[in-house]
């Protein structure tokens, strides 16, 4: 995970928001984050 990804993940955790990203694999291991890939059918 890059520093940028870590900041994005931390922001989603702190504010309790859903993380919308095309890069699901980098965040999948964080159980507390809800992920959405808008490009998946």
pLDDT of residue 27: 96
pTM: predicted TM-score of the whole model, two decimal places: 0.82
pLDDT of residue 41: 64
**Could you tell me how far CA 33 lies from the centroid of its own chain?**
6
33, 11 in Cβ contact below 8 A? no
Q: Domain coordinates of the chain in residue numbers?
A: 3-36
Per-residue pLDDT tens digits for 1-41: 899 999 999 999 999 999 999 999 999 999 999 999 999 96
CA torsion sign for 13, 16, 37, 22 is negative
Q: Can you say whether residue 2 is alpha, beta or left, with left for phi > 0 and alpha for psi between -120 and 50 degrees?
A: beta
């Amino acid at each position: 995970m890059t520093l940028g990804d870590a900041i994005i993940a931390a922001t989603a955790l702190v504010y309790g928001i859903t993380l919308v990203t095309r890069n699901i694999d980098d965040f999948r291991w964080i159980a507390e984050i809800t992920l959405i890939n808008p490009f998946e059918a």
